[in-house]
Structure 1
Amino acid sequence: METSAKPTVQRNFIEIDLSDYERRQDEIVTELMRAATTQGFFYVVNHGISVETIRTMFQASHDFFALPDNVKSKYPIDVSRNAGWEKLAQIRPSTGVADLKESLQLGFHNVDELWPKHEDAPNFKETATDFMHQCNEVSAKLLTCLALGLGFEADFFTRCHDITKSDCLNTLRCLHYHDITGQSFPPEYWRAGAHTDFDTLTLLFQRPGEDGLEVCPGREASTEFAVGDVWSPVSPKEGEIVCNLGDMIMRWSDDVFKSNFHRVRAPKVGEYQGPRYSIAYFNQANKSAIIQGRTRYPDPITSQEFIRQAMHRNYTALQELQARQAEQDPIAAAIPGTA
């Protein structure tokens, strides 16, 4: 049974109902603008991706991560193409240490050899490709409403995220946070350290009972690293999509939209510390797309250059953090993996 047509505030975040999309588009735009300008995070329901489809994708992800590392390492991360498998390798400038996870990132074009082969992960590519197309359909509806809300043409964002183009950057990321039962870690260790997304719009899928995602609202500009101390948990029901806005659309909106910090905490001993799986679909503008605001950011910049600058800011911030850590504890800083 569908939920009421009227979106409501649920578990701290606004719920966007996509049912009867064509008829209710004006209403959806209004509620989406409220979420985009105040929280940057929202739940999406009645989106058209079935619970069975989501479960099938999670099973495919689970089966891949269950493979031995020497098999998964056949598909190593290629940072330049933002695709492939990594483990305990992503270091955030908010922490200075590696996230307690592994992930597999995949795209629509130019990464064929990084897709798990059938003999290693039967039907993985077919399952994931179908899932990506369904995620893209949901994304198109949301991007259309966000464009209308900003006073742009309806296809303003969708034509900048064209998955048929070879410079498409939309990415599917399967994540596995390792079982840490009985283990404790220093406070700087997180399953995913605080960060914002570089992209325009992220669709995130979680499995029931595997919470841990937290959001810190209130970011004022797309170039700031300041992180506040008020965090809200995100706890979607099965089948709901957690969506958040990224740095690209924050700049496009002249910082009217919020791209907020989020993190996944490492549960403590006595809490559920078993494995956690999530799946994210990142909408990143095509490399050649021009990101340009109308007031605060009137200078045009390509999506490719925007990402390069964002990565450089993160790298610089990480170097500064590790330098401070070395000054405070030079012995620990000299030990690999501790800084």
Structure 2
Amino acid sequence: MAGRVVPAISLKDYESRREEITKQLVEAAETAGFLTLIDHGITIEEIEAQFALSKAYFDLPKEIKDKVPHNLTTNNGYEYYVRKHFPFLAVLLCPIKGPSTGSIDQKESFWLQRNSEWPSDEDVPTFRAKTLNFIGKCEDISNKVLTCLSIALGFEEDYFCKAMDTHQPDNLSQMRLLHYPASEGAQGTWRAGVHTDIGCLTLLFQRDGEDGLEICPGRESHSSFAVGDTFFPLPAETGPIVVNIGDMLMAWSDDRLKANFHRVRAKESGHSPDRYSIAYFNTGRKDVIMQGPLKKYPAITCNEYFLHHTKIQFGHNAKKKQEAAAAEKPSVVAATA
């Protein structure tokens, strides 16, 4: 079933095939909101090496990982089993039997950016240098996809690349390393509750045999919570990159490109192995003004949009995050991308 919902799109010969690739990307983004990229230029060996670094980090004692704790202002740092969703979303999002989305997600993660605080080389040798190199590869792939989507929406071809330029001081794009610990007899409990991604475009790396990701196509607007209860499994595979549209890009495209709900669940019975994943979130820079070509929604800064939707989806921390953001000195307003 999932194979009919989520297409695999090759980036081979990108420059000569850009028109064809754009058509395929847009078709996937307008329907499933999910796709997988192949022939993207990152080798399986490079992906496995990054997962090895991630595992080396998560294998550290918690007191070592806590040297870089999660920061509510920047959203960077180490998180451990943090509650992610309001209980009321369980009814709005997905009327299925089982634990509510208000339960604590069974995972730990590390959020980071180019200029954020990093684990020391003493704790995880070569972690920063090699991860920065991997981030650079994610940025290159993201820019190819974003260029295609900019053209499809009628913007200048570098429009979204400029809007998500990670070398600008107001950038919000992040990488997140995730670890879902093994469990016995979890019977379909949440490893990550039902949610959409808040940003623009997510690149997700998975590993063979570490399944659990499920998607639910069918959302009509970026503010809609009514999605039904039909989820499709997306098997984990080392190599292909799972790409999905986020809320911000759905709004920015006047709801043309779909940010659909997804979740990670433990197996219905028996042993659920450790699951590692790596997500790269492309998010519009704080001071960039976002508005779709049809102007369906009022113009708003990406930071304002991000804070508002953080409150909806991560309500337990929203007040603290807003207070922390308000305490920051106002930044220089950047030119609209």
Pair 1:160-2:178 in alignment: no
Post-superposition shift, 1:98?
1.2
Provide the rounded CA distance (Å) in 2 between the counterparts of 1:305 and 1:299. 12
Pair 1:89-2:82 in alignment: yes
Provide the rounded CA distance (Å) in 2 between the counterparts of 1:211 and 1:236. 5
Pair 1:102-2:108 in alignment: yes
Given candidates 56, 60, 74, the residue that maps to 1:63 is: 56
TM-score with structure 1 setting the length? 0.86
Provide the rounded CA distance (Å) in 2 between the counterparts of 1:57 and 1:317. 31
Matches within 5 A, 1:191-230: 191-230=191-230
Instruction: Kindly indicate whether the alpha-carbon contact (under 8 Å) linking 1:96 and 1:318 is maintained by their aligned counterparts in 2.
Output: no
Matched to 1:235, the amino acid is P
Instruction: Kindly indicate whether the alpha-carbon contact (under 8 Å) linking 2:216 and 2:230 is maintained by their aligned counterparts in 1.
Output: yes
Corresponding position of 1:54 = 47
Equivalent pairs counted in the alignment come to: 304
RMSD (CA atoms): 1.8
Matches within 5 A, 1:19-168: 19-93=12-86, 94=89, 95-109=101-115, 111=116, 114-168=117-171
Instruction: Kindly indicate whether the alpha-carbon contact (under 8 Å) linking 2:211 and 2:235 is maintained by their aligned counterparts in 1.
Output: yes
Instruction: Kindly indicate whether the alpha-carbon contact (under 8 Å) linking 2:251 and 2:297 is maintained by their aligned counterparts in 1.
Output: no
Instruction: Kindly indicate whether the alpha-carbon contact (under 8 Å) linking 1:244 and 1:259 is maintained by their aligned counterparts in 2.
Output: yes
Post-superposition shift, 1:115?
0.7
Give deviations 1:181-236, integer Å, cap 9, x for gaps.
Answer: x2436x7x400000000111000000001011000001111112223211111125
Instruction: Kindly indicate whether the alpha-carbon contact (under 8 Å) linking 1:236 and 1:242 is maintained by their aligned counterparts in 2.
Output: no
TM-score with structure 2 setting the length? 0.86
Corresponding position of 1:232 = 232
Pair 1:314-2:313 in alignment: yes
Corresponding position of 2:289 = 290
Post-superposition shift, 1:238?
2.2
3-state SS of paired residue (1:80): coil
Corresponding position of 2:251 = 251
Corresponding position of 1:328 = none
Corresponding position of 1:329 = none
3-state SS of paired residue (2:280): strand
Post-superposition shift, 1:316?
5.5
3-state SS of paired residue (1:157): helix
Instruction: Kindly indicate whether the alpha-carbon contact (under 8 Å) linking 2:209 and 2:237 is maintained by their aligned counterparts in 1.
Output: no
Matched to 1:24, the amino acid is R
1:128–1:43 distance in 2 versus 1, CA, 3 Å: same
Corresponding position of 2:299 = 300
Provide the rounded CA distance (Å) in 2 between the counterparts of 1:82 and 1:317. 14
Provide the rounded CA distance (Å) in 2 between the counterparts of 1:140 and 1:269. 40
Post-superposition shift, 1:315?
4.9
Provide the rounded CA distance (Å) in 2 between the counterparts of 1:238 and 1:266. 19
Post-superposition shift, 1:16?
1.1
3-state SS of paired residue (1:243): strand
Post-superposition shift, 1:318?
10
Corresponding position of 1:5 = none
Instruction: Kindly indicate whether the alpha-carbon contact (under 8 Å) linking 1:92 and 1:318 is maintained by their aligned counterparts in 2.
Output: no
3-state SS of paired residue (2:190): coil
Corresponding position of 1:330 = none
Post-superposition shift, 1:66?
0.4
Matched to 2:106, the amino acid is L
Q: Percent identity?
A: 43
Give deviations 1:95-138, integer Å, cap 9, x for gaps.
Answer: 111100000000123x2xx3111111111111111000000000
Instruction: Kindly indicate whether the alpha-carbon contact (under 8 Å) linking 1:11 and 1:234 is maintained by their aligned counterparts in 2.
Output: no
Matched to 2:133, the amino acid is D
Provide the rounded CA distance (Å) in 2 between the counterparts of 1:297 and 1:305. 17
Provide the rounded CA distance (Å) in 2 between the counterparts of 1:36 and 1:141. 15
3-state SS of paired residue (2:203): strand
Provide the rounded CA distance (Å) in 2 between the counterparts of 1:243 and 1:136. 13
